[in-house]
């Protein structure tokens, strides 16, 4: 969590570990404590605070104030935005985490002067924040960019959403670990294979020089790149930013395979969007969440102006 000035420059930050599985009441109480902490560290008087922003995993309910993702037990339908406003006693904006991270990259990162770009948020899931003509594109229900549940392998492993072979099944730490364990089980009996021991965590996979594990990481990036070629075909962005906590974990090999997958499946008659890593890394999400309030204040949509 960060406190920023009106140009999204970080003034202070605070962090604590709390799992979503502990339930909304525990998490909201922890957020309240974090806000008090970061405001105190920044030395901000209460009357100078414009509001608070929060990024949450999608999909979200009407106006993004409620979480709908069935993988978060106890959260479905919880009025998060309303509860935070009540606890914090200030205006609160809740947004999809990928969109929030895109805002952070727009304000302080590599996309500062780009009118059309896609921020690919890689965490426990896969999402995309979209900027079109200098404006955030949210879609009719605020859930644009849910690319993690695009099925890329019709006979692939089942996903919790009910489909099979979703991008999220492959291009996440848990997906990479599952694929690597499967490779280890299938090939451990072959001569010359050194990676017979099952990897205990995704770090064991991405840090290994075992060719079979390297191939798993590259295949995950290739799948993501191929999925992004469809996004590029529809949106025609100038830039694709790879960000989120997983990017720093999986490394340059993964990013290079994303580029190859995108190039291999893009139309040869049109320019391929350039791909860059987020320049602010893990700060994109918190900065973007803070910038939600700034963005709506400085560049409000016609809909928000009409509601003012």
| pLDDT tens-place string over residues 97-124 | 899 899 899 988 899 899 999 999 998 8
Domain stops at, among 66, 96, 126: 96
Q: What is the pLDDT of residue 59?
A: 61
The span from the CA of 198 to the CA of 177, in Å, is 9
What's the CATH code of the domain at 228? Answer: 3.30.420.40
pLDDT bucket at 140, cuts 50 / 70 / 90: confident
Q: Report, as an integer, the average pLDDT of 291-304.
A: 65
Based on the fold, state whether residues 173 and 218 are members of the same structural domain: yes
Q: What gap in Å lies between CA 100 and CA 282, rounded to an integer? A: 12
Is the model's pLDDT at 23 over the cut of 70? Answer: yes
> What percentage of the chain has pLDDT greater than the value 90?
30
* pLDDT at residue 68, rounded to an integer: 58
Q: What domain range includes position 136?
A: 110-278
Q: Is residue 137 part of a domain?
A: yes
Is residue 290 in some structural domain?
no
The last residue of one of the domains, among 96, 127, 151, is: 96
Are 254 and 121 members of one domain? yes
* Res. 73: pLDDT tops 80: no
For 168-192, how does the pLDDT look when each residue is reduced to its tens digit (9 = 90+)? Answer: 999 999 999 999 999 888 876 544 4
Residue 189 is predicted with a pLDDT of: 56
pTM greater than the 0.75 cutoff:
yes
Please provide residue 52's backbone torsions phi and psi, each rounded to the nearest 5 degrees. Answer: -130, 150
Q: Are residues 250 and 129 in the same domain?
A: yes
46: CB partners within 8 A, 6+ apart: 39
The reply to whether 286 falls in a domain is: no
**Predicted pLDDT at 118:** 96
pLDDT of the residue at 21: 76
The reply to whether 176 and 72 lie within a common domain is no
Same domain, yes or no, for 256 and 132?
A: yes
pLDDT at position 220: 94
Q: What mean pLDDT, rounded, does the chain reach?
A: 83
- 181, part of any domain: yes
Asked if residue 221 and residue 142 are part of one domain, the reply reads: yes
How far apart, in whole angstroms, are the C-alpha atoms of residue 82 and residue 58?
17
Asked whether residue 87 falls in the same domain as residue 235, the answer is no
Could you tell me which residues come within 8 angstroms of residue 93 by beta carbon, excluding any fewer than 6 positions away? 51, 52, 53, 54, 81, 292, 293, 296
Whether residue 6 lies inside any domain: the answer is: yes
Whether residue 116 sits in one domain with residue 91: no
Q: Residue range 197-202: average pLDDT?
A: 85
Q: What percent of the chain has pLDDT over 70?
A: 87
- The DSSP code for 72 is S
Same domain, 147 and 214: yes
Whether 86 and 158 share a structural domain: no
| Mean local confidence (pLDDT), 201-207 | 90
pLDDT value of position 260: 92
Q: Is 88 in the same domain as 145?
A: no
User: Do 233 and 130 belong together in one domain?
Assistant: yes
Number of domains, the chain: 2
Question: Token pair for residue 73?
Answer: 């037990």
pLDDT of residue 191: 47
Torsion of Cα atoms, 213 then 219 then 222 then 227, to 10°? -130
Residue 59 located in a structural domain: yes
- Stretch among 64-73, 133-142, 158-167, 273-282 having the lowest mean pLDDT: 64-73
pLDDT at 308 (0 to 100): 42
Q: Which two tokens stand for residue 167?
A: 């991008």
Structure tokens at 307: 């509601």
| C-alpha distances out from residue 22 to 17, 25, 36, 81, 307, Å | 11, 8, 21, 18, 35
294 within some domain? no
Distances (CA, A) of 53 to 83, 99, 123, 196, 289: 13, 12, 19, 46, 5
Give the per-residue pLDDT at 66: 59
Average confidence (pLDDT) over 246-269: 85
Give the residue from 96, 119, 138 where a domain finishes: 96
Do the domain assignments include residue 232? yes
């Amino acid at each position: 969590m960060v406190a920023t000035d009106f140009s999204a420059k970080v003034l202070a930050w605070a962090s604590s570990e709390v799992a979503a599985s502990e339930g909304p009441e525990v998490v909201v109480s922890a957020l309240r404590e974090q806000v008090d902490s970061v405001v105190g560290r920044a030395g901000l008087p209460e009357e100078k605070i414009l509001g608070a922003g929060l990024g949450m995993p999608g999909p979200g309910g009407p106006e993004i104030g409620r979480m709908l993702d069935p993988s978060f037990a106890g959260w479905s339908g919880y009025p998060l935005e309303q509860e935070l406003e009540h606890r914090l006693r200030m205006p609160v904006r809740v947004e999809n985490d990928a969109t929030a991270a895109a805002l952070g990259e727009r304000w302080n990162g590599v996309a500062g002067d780009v009118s059309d770009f896609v921020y690919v948020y890689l965490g426990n899931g896969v999402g995309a924040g979209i900027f079109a003509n200098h404006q955030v594109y949210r879609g009719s229900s605020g859930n644009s960019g849910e690319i993690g549940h695009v099925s890329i392998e019709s006979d692939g492993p089942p996903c919790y959403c009910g489909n099979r072979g979703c991008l999220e099944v492959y291009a996440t730490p848990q997906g990479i670990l599952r694929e690597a364990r499967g490779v280890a089980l299938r090939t451990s009996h072959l001569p010359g294979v050194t990676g017979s021991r099952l990897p205990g965590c995704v770090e064991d996979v991405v840090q290994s020089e075992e060719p079979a594990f390297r191939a798993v990481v590259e295949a995950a990036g290739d799948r993501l790149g191929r999925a992004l070629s469809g996004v590029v075909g529809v949106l025609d962005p100038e830039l694709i930013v790879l960000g989120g906590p997983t990017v720093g974990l999986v490394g340059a090999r993964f990013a290079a395979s994303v580029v190859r997958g995108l190039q291999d499946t893009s139309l040869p008659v049109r320019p391929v969007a350039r791909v860059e890593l987020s320049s602010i890394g893990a700060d994109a999400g918190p900065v973007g969440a803070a910038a939600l309030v700034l963005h709506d204040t400085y560049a409000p949509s016609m809909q928000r102006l009409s509601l003012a």
